[in-house]
Amino acid sequence: MLRIIIAALLMLAGLFVLGVATIGIFRFSTMLNRIHIAAKCDTLGALLVLSSLIVLSGMTIFSLKLLLVIIFLWLSNPVSSHLVARAEVKTNPDLNKICDFMRFDEQGNLIKLNIKTDDEVSAS
């Protein structure tokens, strides 16, 4: 009985994270914010839901495979979100309106520092 209570708590927390993340995907206006939401919801939501299934089924090979899935998801999600953010930054022509950025040449020297002051931000 205690096992089902713990599994239910973990599962409800995981579903809460996933539900709030799907609302958040629609509410944010910038692309980079949405990448942030996707990375958070995937790792935390999958961890909570899959660990509730581990608690529910005890010490079997099923739990070991689910643990492997959790470890692989935690290793691969940061890499994929970084790649998607890089692809978005390279192909977006309207990046000036969203954030400030600096430009470097190939050796790492600073060419151009493009940070908006407070007057420019309030004027735009």
Partner 1 sequence: MPDINNLKNYLLIGSAVFLSITIFACLLRAILGPRFTDRIIAANIIGTKTIALISIMSLIVGEDYLVDICLIYAIISFLSVVVLARSVIEQKHKSGGSNNINNNSHSADDLRSMIQQIWREPFNYIFEEQ
Residue 21 and residue 3: Cα distance in Å, rounded?
A: 27
Q: Is 44 in the site for partner 1 (CB under 8 A)?
A: no
Q: Is 95 in the site for partner 1 (CB under 8 A)?
A: no
User: With CB under 8 A as the contact rule, which of the stretches 69-77, 97-105, 114-122 interacts with partner 1?
Assistant: 69-77
* Per-residue CA distances from 39 to 14, 43, 69 (Å): 15, 6, 16
**Residue 70, φ and ψ in degrees, nearest 5:** -65, -45
* 65 versus 120: smaller Cβ distance to partner 1: 65
Residue 51 and residue 13: Cα distance in Å, rounded?
A: 11
Q: 26: helix, coil or strand?
A: helix
The only residue of 2, 13, 25, 116 in contact with partner 1, by rule CB under 8 A? 25
In whole angstroms, the minimum distance from the beta carbon of 29 to partner 1 comes to 11
CA angle in degrees (0–180, nearest 5) for 58-59-64: 110
Judged by the rule CB under 8 A, the positions of this chain that interact with partner 1 are 1, 4, 7-8, 11, 14-15, 18-19, 21-22, 25-26, 31, 34-35, 38, 41-42, 45-46, 49-50, 53, 56-57, 60-62, 65-66, 68-69, 72-73, 76, 79-81, 83-84, 86-88, 90-93
